Amino acid sequence: MTDINFKYVDNSGLIGKEEYKARLERNLPSLDRALKGEEKYKDTLGWHNVSLWAGEEWLEKYEETALRVRKDADALVVIGIGGSNQAARAVYEALGRKNDVEIIWAGNTISPYSMNEVLKSLENKKSVYVDCIAKNFETLEPGIAFRVIRNFLDKRYGDSYSSRVIVTFTENTPSWNMAEKEGYTLLPFPSNIGGRYTALSPICLFPLAVAGFDIKAMVKGAKDMESRLKSDHSILNVALEYATMRTMLKEKGKSVELLSYFEPRFFRFAKWWKQLFGESEGKEDKGLLPMDTSYSEDLHSLGQFVQDGSPMLFETFLNVTERESTCPLPSDELEDGFKYLDGKDFWEINKAAFNATLAAHSRRFPCLVLEIPRFDEETYGALFYFFQMACYVSCNITGVNPFDQNGVEDYKKDMFKLLGK
Amino acid sequence: MTDINFKYVDNSGLIGKEEYKARLERNLPSLDRALKGEEKYKDTLGWHNVSLWAGEEWLEKYEETALRVRKDADALVVIGIGGSNQAARAVYEALGRKNDVEIIWAGNTISPYSMNEVLKSLENKKSVYVDCIAKNFETLEPGIAFRVIRNFLDKRYGDSYSSRVIVTFTENTPSWNMAEKEGYTLLPFPSNIGGRYTALSPICLFPLAVAGFDIKAMVKGAKDMESRLKSDHSILNVALEYATMRTMLKEKGKSVELLSYFEPRFFRFAKWWKQLFGESEGKEDKGLLPMDTSYSEDLHSLGQFVQDGSPMLFETFLNVTERESTCPLPSDELEDGFKYLDGKDFWEINKAAFNATLAAHSRRFPCLVLEIPRFDEETYGALFYFFQMACYVSCNITGVNPFDQNGVEDYKKDMFKLLGK
């Protein structure tokens, strides 16, 4: 079982233990409502019970469809933006290639240069498939990318191109019907989940299955986390601990939460996390601004600001505890000034850098640490579910709707006017 | 000549035109001191006169050394962290490959996984060279990466390996002498420039020359910008305009500056920019927190926060004005719902998205726009010099030293203790 542990290290004295404990108690009703799932949010709680979109029958369907693609493809173009690609990409870019199918990400920008780069990368591919993912296929980015990729497939494969197209659309919408008519393979975009909560659904699981990831393990990690969280209505619930500490810090004047990590391959996960919290909490002039730093690189950059700049932020560290990779430092006769590291491994040195950073930063502000065991599918499943629930709890504490995102619409109105829609 | 234009769009009413003009006048002495270069900073102003480290003789030397490498190499490992790799990487990743030499970035992390990925990527390379860049070769990350790469080269090429090593170190330091003894090729790390201001020096120019970039054009862009800025001590100086507006916004309660762009390939440039401003201004409990968003992707993520969340930020847009890339939207018989875009090009649609975002966001807070003509070396040279000078002016206005970074040392003390140094 994948465990996520929470701790906080505070040598700044900002938050006292008693104060924290009292607040945990006070937040129990917010936890309770989130764990049960509130009636008023019922149309968006499709993620709450992992089995709903990732039960055994569903997994078989995703695997079966994936198997057909995997057998023949060397490239899968995943068209999607925001919640439609972040989770899958987080896993894909962290865990490394599992088979010969390369995923190529498209539909997440309007840059002509980027679109052309996608087309260029397809030139040397022998067998290209596409998965077009959109809850609402009126979204411009996936819409125009899908046209370009259809055009590419049509030119290369002729009329049979449609056997290479999978769409993940909301069922029984005009675009779903159009896709059905064209003979595309159809997967359902869960109608009762908003984009940023779809990590345990075909949005993320299908492309990962094509690329050879163990989606059963991922779902197991999520289900175990679901059980663990739902069975604990006490102040020891780890989602409550994390949500309580971060909302307390916001009240104490911290306005930015930095997600920090010492493994650069967490980068895409951090993008997923930033969307989850930024879109869920960033409304009604509220919310912590979510930002990330990739250490040790960014210690040589934003590290200065974190340590000495405006005291507006606190930090949440993702820390992987089990040694999973090794790179021994070769010994060397050269007088290079690094003899003090002889016999050490990058792993140990990296951990020393983490512990030193934690020590230094926690003298300035409270540091939160989420410990996870390793980089694998099961852990990612647990992480996705954990943060989704913790976000729900956080929003219950601060009093915003975790599942809407009306602010996203503003620029769209201006844009559609400019484009004559 | 590469021009950078500054404008601001404010429909929020936060900053009045008269108030802005008065402040520009008041900041003229800060501009003046920066344009002249202050005696107290003389040990760190090596970047101020571009010719000092990028004059014709220097360029010939960098080119000559680069030519030797370029003729033989198919990979150049650039070892460097922070200011030692951000500028080169910003150009390399934005302008695309120019020749057959791939740059592989190392020494910017302690992750064993990342180090092993670098080694893996070298397996299929035929002829590998390395450029190890460090102002102070006591820095741990380049130190340990250099050991691993030396070990790799030694195993593959034997004693002749040293002809494949270039180091960019501070002259006449112990590491410089060690490198000389080993027979490495030596390039000087400018002793009178701090890492984050080294874009127009061998730190950035040499690796780019190896990879086939036109470093003369880059230096021309920087020199033209230097002339333009230094010849204008008026309130129309573009560095003063940008510095004044951003520091005024800080005074009005904005605490985060978002660098936003609609071309994802600005991503690495944004990392360089974040270091420049974060490290220069983030001290004495001061400074704007520098952050970036890559649109339109992040409109489907942080866009919600920007529009509706805590009103703590303002935005600076990088906008490329000359059409440089094209991707026409193919017409399609399918009823896909995007007929209203028929005949349009991604370029136009992307510009509509930019203009719509500017309109929507500027109703909430003042938006700054920096217009640049195109993606090329000359423009990047101008951008680097522009921001370096604007940062100096900004720090003069807020009253912090733009060139030190004492906060970076705190975690290092803890780390060296843990590692027994």
The pLDDT score that the predictor gives to residue A170 is: 96
Q: Among partner residues B82, B151, B406, which is closest to A300 by beta-carbon distance?
A: B82
Assess contact for A411 and B363: CB atoms under 8 A.
no
Residues of B labelled catalytic: 279, 300, 412
The pLDDT score that the predictor gives to residue B408 is: 85
Q: Residue A197 and residue A219: Cα distance in Å, rounded?
A: 14
Are both A223 and A209 inside the same structural domain?
no
Are both A153 and A291 inside the same structural domain?
no
The pLDDT score that the predictor gives to residue B325 is: 79
Instruction: Among B166, B198, B213, identify where a domain stops.
Output: B213
* Number of structural domains chain B divides into: 2
Long-range contacts of B69-74 (CB under 8 A, 24+ apart): B69/B101, B69/B129, B69/B166, B69/B210, B70/B99, B70/B101, B70/B209, B70/B210, B70/B212, B72/B127, B72/B129, B73/B101, B73/B127, B73/B128, B73/B129, B73/B210, B74/B100, B74/B101, B74/B102, B74/B125, B74/B126, B74/B127, B74/B128
What does the pLDDT look like over A281-336, one tens digit per residue?
999 999 999 999 999 999 999 999 999 999 999 999 999 999 977 999 999 888 89
Instruction: Among A213, A247, A278, identify where a domain stops.
Output: A213
Domain membership flag for residue B83: yes
At residue A409, does pLDDT exceed 90?
no
Side-chain-side CA neighbours of residue A86 (13 Å): 25
Are both B66 and B188 inside the same structural domain?
yes
Length of chain B: 421
The pLDDT score that the predictor gives to residue A407 is: 87
Distance from CA of A218 to the nearest CA of B (A): 21
Chain A residues with CB under 8 Å of B150 CB are: 330, 332, 334
**Displacement of CA A339 from its chain's centroid (Å):** 40
The pLDDT score that the predictor gives to residue A173 is: 95
- pTM higher than 0.95 for the full model? yes
Are both B99 and B199 inside the same structural domain?
yes
Q: Residue A365 and residue B37: Cα distance in Å, rounded?
A: 36
Domain membership flag for residue A288: yes
Chain A residues with CB under 8 Å of B417 CB are: 356
At residue A235, does pLDDT exceed 90?
yes
Domain membership flag for residue B268: yes
Are both B292 and B354 inside the same structural domain?
yes
Q: Which of B137, B163, B162 is nearest to B71 (CA)?
A: B163
Domain membership flag for residue A412: no
Q: Among partner residues B196, B286, B417, which is closest to A310 by beta-carbon distance?
A: B286
Domain membership flag for residue A414: no
Assess A142–B contact: CB distance below 8 Å, yes or no: no
Q: Which of B184, B224, B194, B189 is nearest to B206 (CA)?
A: B189
Residue A280, Cβ density class (10 Å: 0-12 exposed, 13-18 middle, ≥19 buried)? buried
Q: Which residues of chain B have pLDDT under 70?
A: 1
Assess contact for B400 and B242: CB atoms under 8 A.
no
What does the pLDDT look like over A142-164, one tens digit per residue?
999 999 999 999 999 999 999 99
Query: What DSSP element (H or E) covers A371?
Result: strand A367-372
Query: What DSSP element (H or E) covers B369?
Result: strand B367-372
CB contact under 8 A, A411 and B299: yes
Are both B202 and B236 inside the same structural domain?
no
Helix B17-26, helix B238-251: angle, nearest 10 = 110
The pLDDT score that the predictor gives to residue A408 is: 85
Assess B282–A contact: CB distance below 8 Å, yes or no: yes
Are both B183 and B64 inside the same structural domain?
yes
Domain membership flag for residue B412: no
Distance from CA of A315 to the nearest CA of B (A): 14
Chain A residues with CB under 8 Å of B275 CB are: 300-302
Domain membership flag for residue B273: yes
Alpha-helical runs (H) found in A37-106: 51-54, 56-72, 86-95
Q: Residue B34 and residue B398: Cα distance in Å, rounded?
A: 13
> What mean pLDDT is predicted for residues A192-196?
96
Assess A251–B contact: CB distance below 8 Å, yes or no: no
Are both B73 and B189 inside the same structural domain?
yes
Chain A residues with CB under 8 Å of B143 CB are: 336-338, 341
For chain A positions 59-78, those within 8 Å of chain B (CB to CB) are none
Domain membership flag for residue A291: yes
Q: Which of A101, A88, A76 is nearest to A268 (CA)?
A: A88
Instruction: Among B181, B213, B245, identify where a domain stops.
Output: B213
Query: What DSSP element (H or E) covers A101?
Result: none
Question: Which residue out of A305, A365, A367, A406 would a mutagenesis test of the B interface target, given it has the greatest number of B Cβ atoms within 10 Å?
Answer: A305
Q: Residue A89 and residue A421: Cα distance in Å, rounded?
A: 31
Distance from CA of B296 to the nearest CA of A (A): 6
CB contact under 8 A, A304 and B415: no
CB contact under 8 A, B346 and A112: yes
Are both A123 and A228 inside the same structural domain?
no
Residue A159, domain CATH? 3.40.50.10490
Preceding peptide of B296 cis, ω within 30°: yes
The pLDDT score that the predictor gives to residue A202 is: 98
Which residue type occupies B335?
Answer: E
Are both A363 and A349 inside the same structural domain?
yes
Are both B208 and B258 inside the same structural domain?
no
Could you tell me the residue range of the domain that residue A288 belongs to?
A: 5-36+219-398
What does the pLDDT look like over A341-378, one tens digit per residue?
999 999 999 999 999 999 999 999 999 999 999 999 99
Residue A216 is among the residues annotated as catalytic for this protein? no
**Displacement of CA A17 from its chain's centroid (Å):** 31
Side-chain-side CA neighbours of residue A111 (13 Å): 22
User: Which residue reads 């680097």 in tokens?
Assistant: B384
Q: Among partner residues A82, A144, A307, which is closest to B349 by beta-carbon distance?
A: A144
Distance from CA of A243 to the nearest CA of B (A): 18
CB contact under 8 A, A308 and B406: yes
Predicted confidence band of residue A1 (pLDDT cuts 50, 70, 90): low
Q: Residue B82 and residue B76: Cα distance in Å, rounded?
A: 18
Assess contact for B394 and B270: CB atoms under 8 A.
no
Q: Residue B309 and residue A407: Cα distance in Å, rounded?
A: 9
- Please give the residue of chain B at the shortest CA–CA distance from A143: B338
Classify A326 as helix, strand or coil.
coil
The pLDDT score that the predictor gives to residue A324 is: 78
Strands (E), A266-351: 289-294, 313-320
Assess contact for B391 and B239: CB atoms under 8 A.
no
Chain A residues with CB under 8 Å of B284 CB are: 308
Are both B207 and B229 inside the same structural domain?
no
